[in-house]
Amino acid sequence: MKTRDLPAPDPRVETELMLCSDGSIYINSHDVSQEMYAGRAIFVGYALHQREIARRGREGLLTWAMRAPLGLGSDGRIYVPEAEVAEGDRGKRRVFRGFQATAAEKARMVVELHRMAFNVSCVRLNTET
């Protein structure tokens, strides 16, 4: 896999959700009071650079996901837990801080994502004529 083959994530897009390789979904905590997520698991992750993704390839990323959770952000970036990134290298990366979604929140998200995907598909079909 070459870096030029990877689509570059849009730098203007904020990461609101994180789907982790362990099945957890995390919600960005930047606009939320601490009382809302008290007692929930927290994920602090740093985005991998495109050259790191290209160097590891699919197999390397999957192997990594078996030993430590990887997160796919709603901004299209791959995030790794902060313990996986050297302290001196953290300042050069996008960071995600979020709290784990409850089962009810996850169920609601799935319904909304299906609705969005259906609406996008309908719009696409209507513009192809």
Confidence label for 9 from pLDDT (cuts 50, 70 and 90): low
pLDDT at 13: 61
Question: Is residue 46 predicted with pLDDT exceeding 90?
Answer: yes
**Overall pTM > 0.95:** no
In a domain, 119, yes or no: no
Average pLDDT over residues 112-129: 76
pLDDT at 34: 83
CA distances from 74 to 71, 126, 128, 129 (A): 10, 26, 27, 30
Can you give the residue range of the structural domain that contains 52?
3-101
In a domain, 66, yes or no: yes
Average pLDDT over residues 33-50: 89
In a domain, 122, yes or no: no
A 10 A CB-CB count for 37 gives: 18
pLDDT tens digits, one per residue of 76-88 = 899 999 998 888 8
pLDDT at 8: 56
pLDDT at 3: 44
Q: Domains in the chain: how many in total?
A: 1
Question: Is residue 29 predicted with pLDDT exceeding 90?
Answer: no
